[in-house]
Amino acid sequence: MSATAAVCQEQVARLSVLINFPTFAQGVRELVKTLGDVAITDPHAIAVVDEYLAGSEYSPTPVALRRIALELAPRFGGGTAARPKDCDLCAGGWRRVLRLVTRTKDGKTSEPITGEQAAALYPRLKDSQSQMIYSAVQFCECPAGDRQREFERRRKAMPEMGPKAKGKR
């Protein structure tokens, strides 16, 4: 069983209140087609759009609708999601990485290292002027990381707001 075309059209119409909703019929049809392909039932299609509307002010891509539909599928009798929301490598889509940075005459090099390697190197590098251990966070490759990456893309696409943005308009 899958969602009916009428329900999918109605649900995509609800998305028209969002910024950057497709202005061409082909874009709207693609969203309807995607929702129809991924939604297991009519209530599942409604839940996908409810979930998207609750967390975004920008129109979804077909990929975003697919991702949400997969996450919600178990609640509507579908299979389990392909991957867990968070994986064992990350916290909410962010993963800590360590790099050994070496400064040379020609610039600097950077190579990834493990936590064990960093612990072993730290005493030797504590007073070094040419090498250091750099800790950072990056997006994970799991669905939670994909969602964080999408939020960051949308944040960058938004016009600046607030008191600091007054002179930039």
For 7-42, how does the pLDDT look when each residue is reduced to its tens digit (9 = 90+)?
999 999 999 999 999 999 999 999 999 999 889 899
* H or E segment to which residue 70 belongs: helix 62-72
Q: Give 113-159 pLDDT, tens digit per residue.
A: 988 999 999 888 888 889 999 888 888 888 888 888 888 888 888 77
Q: Which of 85, 84, 76, 70 is nearest to 37 (CA)?
A: 70
pLDDT of residue 84: 44
Q: Which of 16, 31, 24, 107 is nearest to 66 (CA)?
A: 31
Higher pLDDT, 102 or 74: 102
pLDDT of residue 157: 81
